[in-house]
Amino acid sequence: MSRKLWSVLTVGCLASLAFAAPKGTVPRSSANRYPAHTQGDGISIGATLLTPKEARKTFVSDVNRCCVVIEFAIYPEKDKPLTVSLDSFTLRLTGSETAAKPSSAKVVSATLQKKAQDQRDVSVSPTASVGYESGSAYDPATGTQRRGGVYTTAGVAVAIASPGGEPGSSEKDRAVMETELSEKGLPEGATTAPVAGYLYFPISRTQKATYQLEYMLNGNKVKLAFQ
């Protein structure tokens, strides 16, 4: 992420920090417009698993460093309020014991800030030195006496930058990330209208992994599978 882009986001997000309650995304016209969808008791749900590329396009915050992101939408039965809660969701990595509840925007932003603070840039560059040796000395490489004179040695230099210099490492950066993630997150609370938004699951993504989203709906467990 470029520092210029990060600065622009900082200004915009801090201006709306007072309105950081989740607003979510615009629900699609129906649940079946999502790759994974189902229906029951007059309620429809749909969801899609964001690829790393899609996550980079959707968020300025680097959510790929900590989370699997799912966009979730729910369509309540007409005139019947439905309560949406993050506690109702679980994401499982198929074929393993790995499972997680979605994290709040506050927790995700704090995790990303810590990762940025811990990041160190390591650079390796070639080096050479020139010196003068008088007299003669034993050369272990050839097994003979080496006469004095000018000599050179080669090697590499390793430089480690101080941690905390990356975008996302400051307290202001954390606040900006929390604002973005909160505004795009799935809104919680009672609703009679369709709602949609993102869920952030603290699970490391692996190649060719399959996931199963579990959602407790009116006491029943609804499952959606993703690849």
Burial class (CB in 10 A: 0-12, 13-18, 19+), 208: exposed
Model pTM greater than 0.85? no
pLDDT tens by residue, 19-44: 445 689 999 999 999 999 999 888 99
- pLDDT per residue as tens digits for the range 93-133: 988 888 999 999 999 999 999 988 887 554 444 544 444 44
Q: Please give the Cα distance from 225 to 92 (Å, whole number).
A: 10
Alpha carbon 71 to its chain's center: 14
What single string gives the DSSP state of each residue in 50-109? PPHHHHHHH-SS-GGGT-EEEEEEEEPPTT--EEE-GGGEEEEETTSS-EEPPBPHHHHH
What is the Cα–Cα distance from 221 to 88, expressed in whole angstroms?
Answer: 9
Q: With contact defined as beta carbons under 8 Å apart, do 27 and 217 qualify?
A: no
